[in-house]
Amino acid sequence: MDFTTIVFYLFAAITLGSGAVVVFSRNIVHSAFSLLFAFFGVAGLYVLLLADFLAVTQLLIYVGGILVLLIFGVMLTSSVIDVQIKTGTVQVLPALFIVGALAAALLTVFWSTEWKVLPDPPAVDTTAPQIGELLLTTYLLPFEIASVILLVALVGAAMIARREKQA
């Protein structure tokens, strides 16, 4: 095993291990915090895939933003510490159906993808300029739609704040 392989398994172990804690922990605060390490592990995997910009974005937005939002959401719920989260089995049949469909879709993608192995890691400095060029030419429409979605989120956030003021 070379160095890259060891690093890959390290990040994969971090991701899967903390993902398991997220799912199985009975303390919602522990779940939220171990999600931090899961996101971090995924960022590491992005680095190994030569997607440096994606890795930085993962850290900036998921670890820096969405996780903070999630922890705030946990803190906003009443009696955080005493609450017992049900990790028992409810709604087994619909869950089995959905998980089965998702697994089938993921496996189809996994098997139909042609996994090209690079002989040597290519000498790519950074992916940011290519992403910028594609984003503003080929993928212009999704890019502009993203701004509209962000606008909707802003308006929604303002609505929450206004409701607070009336109460």
Partner 1 sequence: MLESYIPIFMMLGAAALFGLVMVKLNEWLGPRRPSAEKLSTYESGMEPVRTARERFSIKFYMVAVLFIIFDIEVVFLYPWAVAFNELGMMGFVTMFVFILILLVGYFYVWRKGALEWD
Candidates 18-26, 84-92, 101-109, 127-135: pick the segment binding partner 1 (CB under 8 A): 127-135
State the number of binding residues for partner 1 (CB under 8 A).
55
- Among 90, 91, 155, 166, which residue sits at the site for partner 1 (rule: CB under 8 A)? 155
Give the whole-angstrom CA distance, residue 16 versus residue 41: 8
Angle between helices 28-48 and 3-24 (to 10 degrees): 160
| From candidates 98, 100, 136, 142, binder to partner 1 by CB under 8 A | 136
Nearest to 28 by CA among 69, 83, 78: 83
**Smallest distance from partner 1 to CB 61, Å:** 6
Task: Out of 77, 89, 91, 166, name the contact with partner 1 by CB under 8 A.
Answer: 77
Of 64 and 100, which CB lies nearer to partner 1 in the complex structure?
A: 64
- Identify which range of 16-24, 83-91, 93-101, 137-145 contacts partner 1 by CB under 8 A: 137-145
Q: Which of residues 27-66 bind partner 1 (CB under 8 A)?
A: 47-48, 50, 53, 57, 60-61, 64-66
Amino acid identity, position 67 = L
Cα 136 to Cα 143: distance, rounded to the nearest angstrom: 7
Residues that bind partner 1 (CB under 8 A): 3-4, 7, 47-48, 50, 53, 57, 60-61, 64-66, 68-69, 72-73, 75-78, 80-81, 121-124, 126, 128-133, 135-137, 140, 143-144, 146-148, 150-151, 153-155, 157-158, 160-162, 164-165
